[in-house]
Each structure stands twice: as structure tokens, then as C-alpha cells.
Structure 1
Amino acid sequence: MKVYGYDGATGEYTGATDAARDPLAGDRYVMPHNSTRRTPPMPGPKQAAVFDGQEWGLVPDHRGETWWNAAGTPVIVSTLGDPADGGLSAEAPPTPLPSLADYAAAAQAMLDTRARERGYDSILSGVSYLDDPHPAFAAEAAALKAWRSAIWAYATAALAEVEAGARPAPGLDDWRTELAGACPFTWPEAAP
């Protein structure tokens, strides 16, 4: 006689087997623990057959899939059932837009990186050579100062447009590219 096993904790179908004849009563069968003679239904995609002690049913099976909780944290589904019943979403949350502080930090990093090309600690360090008696340092400081002013003037105006809804907020990579294109920088030629 064919019997159908199920997991004792979840009720999930575990497979079919043949029940053994009872050695004391040859016309009876010994049922394995957690089994039934009821035939389980054939599960469809993303479903599992589950026995509730009386009947088989089909439940959602999203195990191994990535869903997201309310905080936007990814969660690997590990149990049977509909993850939405537990507050999870199948859709990844949208990537949050950068904050004004993120845009400012990207602009500042761009300024500092350029100054470091010539050995200055930061843009502030480079600009501090503005009245330096060495002509090359003074020229570099003047170029850095003018560029810093151009970057911040452009950034302030562009971010005001974003805040007013007059233009979409760019991603940080696009922001850096935009700043570099709007405010190009060239080192001054070395003094003779």
C-alpha cells in the first residue's frame, strides 16, 4: 500500500513509500510515522503540498528567494507560506536619493583629490599658498581657489534647482561628472 510522508513540524510532503504489512496481522499495514494514505496534490510553481493532519493543501513556497522587510533590508525566505503575510515585500525598495550632505561631500572629495595631485593635503592646504613667494605655488593656489569658487557656486545653484523640483536629483556618479564638465580644471603651467 502506498503512503505519503510529511514533515512533522511543517506538514510539507516528503515523499511516497510503501507501508509494510503488520507481521502480527498480515492483512493490515503498519503506517510510518507522519504519513497518510491520502494522495497529495501536485504543487505548481512556487508551491508546496502541506498536510494539516486531515487534508492536503497547497501553500506558497518562496524559500531561497530574496524579499525585503519594511526597513529595506534583504531577507532570504526560509519558511513555507506567503512572505507578505510576515510583512515582507517581493519588490526591492527604491534606492534612496543622495542627501544634500552626500552631494556636498562628493564635491569636497573632488576638490581635495585634485589638490592632492600636486602634493597638497587638501584643497584648503593648496589654497593656503595663495600669497606664497614661490610663483609656482602661488599660481597653483590661485587656480585652486578660482576652481573651488566655481565648483561651489555651480553646486549651490544646481542643488537649489533640485530642492525646488526644477530638475531631477542626479546620482552621485552623475553629480561628479556634471561638476567636472561644468567646472573644468587645468593646472597652471610651471613658472620658469
Structure 2
Amino acid sequence: MTVHNYARHTGEYRSTSDVLLARGVGIPALATTTDPPDAKEGFARVFVNGAWSHVEDHRGEVWYDRDTGRAVKVSGLGPVDPAVHVATKPVITIPLATQAATALAQARTHVLHHYKLLDEPTPAVWIAYLKALMAISDGTDTASTVLPARPAQ
């Protein structure tokens, strides 16, 4: 007798084998005599509730979190939720105010280390740069669409 074996937890098709059964003995556990469907690219053959079906198989694929861009390697059977994950890494746009706040912190550190700690006057170009970044980061400058150019060292 020919049986088709499937995995315990997923029901996924594993193999086909011939078995000899003694009278009064049933087929092996995790096996069926129902023929599985033909293999189909991108799908696993799964035996659930007494019937075979095709289930999407993305195992091993890398998908990306739609909101964070974080890579996620798929490990289970079934469709990937397009509301949560996308196949290509999304471009995450960082708001200009956030970019300005980051640049402001870096600029303050630069001014501190190169001028203040040495008791040197801060050049006017650095003061103007700091003020421009502060205005963008605190929202008083709503017209800028890009950060100002960083002054030369």
C-alpha cells in the first residue's frame, strides 16, 4: 500500500512510501492514502483536516517591516501580511526637524570641543548654523526643506 507522509505540526508533505500492513493494522501515524497535489512553485503541500491543499511558502525569504524597515526572515508557512511586511526595503523618511535635532547635537559637541573648552570665540558661521538648526528643530522655521550646510572645520 502506498502512503503519503506529512509533518506533525505543519501537515507539510514529506515523502511517499510503500508499506506492508498486517491484517487489522492501520496505516502509520502522520500518513494518508490520499494522493497529494502536484508540487507548485512558492507553495507547500499541506494535509489538514483530511485534505491536501497548497499553502504559500515564503520560508527563508527576507521581508521588511513596513514601518521600521527592519529585515525579517520568514520561518513559517502561510502568506506574509502585506499590511505589516513588504518584499523590498522601504525608504524611511526622517522628518526634517528630527534631522535638525541630530545635526544640532553634533554641532554643539563640535563647538564645545573646538572653541568653548579652549576658551576661544565661536566663529559667526557656527553661531548662524546653530541658530538655523535650532529654528528647524523647534518648529519656528517651517519654510526650510533641507538642512543648512555645515560650516568647514
Regarding TM over 0.5, the answer is yes
**Contact 1:20–1:31 at 8 Å: present in 2 too?**
no
Which aligned pairs between 1:79-118 and structure 2 lie closer than 5 A?
Answer: 79-84=76-81, 88-91=84-87, 92-98=89-95, 100-110=97-107, 112-113=109-110
Paired with 2:152 and 2:114, the residues of 1 have a C-alpha distance of 18
Find the counterpart in structure 1 of residue 11 from structure 2.
11
Runs of 5+ in structure 2 lacking a partner? none
The match for 1:65 among 61, 67, 73 is 61
SS at match of 2:117: helix
Tell me the equivalent position of 1:147.
Answer: 125
Match of 1:124 in 2: 116
Shift of the 98–19 alpha-carbon distance from structure 1 to 2, 3 Å rule, reads: same
Greater relative contact order: 1 or 2 (C-alpha under 8 angstroms, separation 6 or more)? 2
CA contact (8 A) 2:64 2:72 kept: yes
Match of 1:48 among 35, 39, 44: 44
Instruction: Specify the SS of the correspondent of 2:81.
Output: helix
Q: Is the 8 A contact 2:100 2:134 kept in 1?
A: no
- Measured on the aligned residues, the alpha-carbon RMSD in Å equals 3.5
Of stretches 67-76 and 29-38 in structure 1, the one that deviates more from structure 2 is 67-76
Q: CA deviation at 1:2?
A: 2.1
Structure with bigger strand share is 2
Tell me if structure 1 keeps the 8 A contact 2:67–2:92.
no
User: Offset at 1:154?
Assistant: 4.7
Give the greater-gyration-radius structure (CA). Answer: 1
Indicate the percent of aligned positions where both proteins have the same amino acid.
24
- TM score, norm. by length of structure 2: 0.70
Seen in structure 2, the aligned counterparts of structure 1 residues 38 and 101 have a Cα distance that, compared at 3 Å, is: closer
Alignment size in residue pairs? 150
Distance in 2 of aligned mates of 1:29 and 1:93: 56
